[in-house]
Structure 1
Amino acid sequence: MKKHNFSAGPCILPQEVLQKASEAILNFNDDDLSLIEISHRSKPFVAVMEKARNLALELLGLENKGYQAIFLHGGASMEFLMVAYNLLNKKAAYLNTGTWSDKAIKEAKEFGEVVEVGSSKDKGYNYIPKGYSIPEDADYFHCTSNNTVAGTQIKSFPETNVPLICDMSSDIFSRQLDFEKFDLIYAGAQKNMGPAGTTLVIIKEEILGKVERHIPSMLNYQVHIKSDSMYNTPSVFAVYVSMLTLQWLKDLGGIPFIEKVNNKKAELLYTEIDRNPLFKGIVAKEDRSNMNATFVLTDESLTEKFDKMCAAAGINGLNGHRSVGGYRASMYNALPLYSVQVLVDVMKALK
């Protein structure tokens, strides 16, 4: 039986997606060739890329609204650089809510002034800053919607007249939002969409082409849009699996359906964390992530026992990030409610 996979990334994927992907590795499109052997410019794969891009826009409700979807290399970490390269003229505003936003700020400082409008670094990123102001003359405002390390999630995004940029790597397609509020969204596939190796970027085209600097071709969003994500050889397998996962989500009922499931999973686990005196949540309750629930044991002497009980129950990937410790239950879209129930049952049985 497959283990209950709470890994923060690479993420759990739907079983049917894994099955189809494994079949494509051996024989894709009944052509007696492997998916990873065919030309990325062949008609079968061009169709895959087109479908993946279209599904991304469709699920987010951004079709025919001036947005483009592209699949790039380098993970979200490359986007820390590319966002600033393509959009930062003089000054940008950043909200610092964790490890990844901190790294994004570091990259942006290479291109201009960075105003850190708010930060939760003072308390180990265990909350989301509130009441901050975004400079009206900023080229853009950047935030990270969900923080996998600390386990926080932005529940309400600011109203602003400057372009809104968001790293949604770990909660994209997991909840309903007004996605038209965002001018650029990026997400590494390996958190909630597919295997590592590709990054989805959703861009409102009108925000591009306004910086004065020369942008190298590989780092230029406009080049990749014009090339339909084919400027260089894409991560064929990662894009294909992402396409299968997006189709799986659409067939289920899209984001409205999966949000209800995700809410049930989060409520089930957080209820036990708050009820059980042997466990304690790490972050502020109002900022808890529905994707990554972080918690610790109140009695560390029970660590070995709890770990063995989890292993016996087939629970995998529960350890917290190396910089934080404790435990982290990542409950991405493909994790079934049943897996969360198994974890809760183990927590209840711990004595």
Structure 2
Amino acid sequence: MASPEPQQIGVVGGGIRGSMFAAAVRQNPAARLEAVCEPDPTRRERIASDLDVATFGDLASMIDSTPELTALIIATPDFAHREVALAGIAAGLDLMIEKPLATTRPDARAIVAAAQAAGTKIMVGFENRWNPRFAEVRRQLAAHPAPVVNQVINLNDTRYVPTRMLSWAARSSPGWFLMPHSLDLAMWLSGATPISVFARGRRGALAAAGVDTWDALTASFTMSDDSLLVLNSQWVLPETTPAVFDFRYEIHTEAASYHFDISHDSVTRYDASGASWLQFGVTEHQGRLRGIPIDMVDDFIASLGGSPLDLPDGPHGELITTAIEAVHDAAESGTPQAIAPTRSTLPTL
């Protein structure tokens, strides 16, 4: 039997995540990396050299020049997903979109509605689902069901992220950049959805550094199973913190409690300059990239080939956007916010 034709994939965005996704596509035998779209000429040159792939400065040129494309992976800044997604949908392409789906509910609604009308598949890149630790706890919770009492997730970054890593941090926040990961994880493990939220925020340190956004946000959700969920995210950890992020998670049911400390899942190195942590999100082994984001891309490609996988889709991404928008509204207004359910459905990935 002949092997199926490889999926022909383009990547939009050549930053840290886009470059990694492109490399993951390139090494997957069921896919072919056809093109990368990146407006910055220095990045384009690097990507073309490193990956031996055609590069384009704008999406329209890439789509027009590569009619063989079957899918796009979108890794543009969080606020810049709508235009790219709608162009991909108009071209008949299936999409993997880096989380969050969008940073406004109208943008998320427009993407999902267009995909629904076109029959386009969407997967949103909530990569914690590919962490084997979380997957095992989800299996245990399903095997031994008990009511969830509460969940608490602390997901924070050092100041490096908003002040030096992201040129667009003022158009985002620790809520948009970090909380979608946390909320998706809480929903995936518990099976519950957010109903309402109260939130508080703090501004000052980042604004003084020229990045006008929230320093920290704390959100308290009421969930559909009557459990409680607290999300804490900040962008002002000191850069002397050994890792760029701090990720601690607890889930408590009436029968069991689980505690995770993902940021300490590392090797500590000691030398003349002090202690540092070697993180292993993505590594290279025997000439191939390995790690949770790579597994996520591999499953997206498998789903395009017809594998019946349970993946986060467009309506789920729209609900996450709706909930995180409500966090920001609650923090601004000082009043609780109801979280309206989403209505859309899409073909199963």
TM-score (norm 1): 0.32
Higher strand share: 2
Using CA pairs below 8 Å that are at least 6 residues apart, which structure has the higher relative contact order? 1
Per the normalisation by structure 2, the TM-score is 0.32
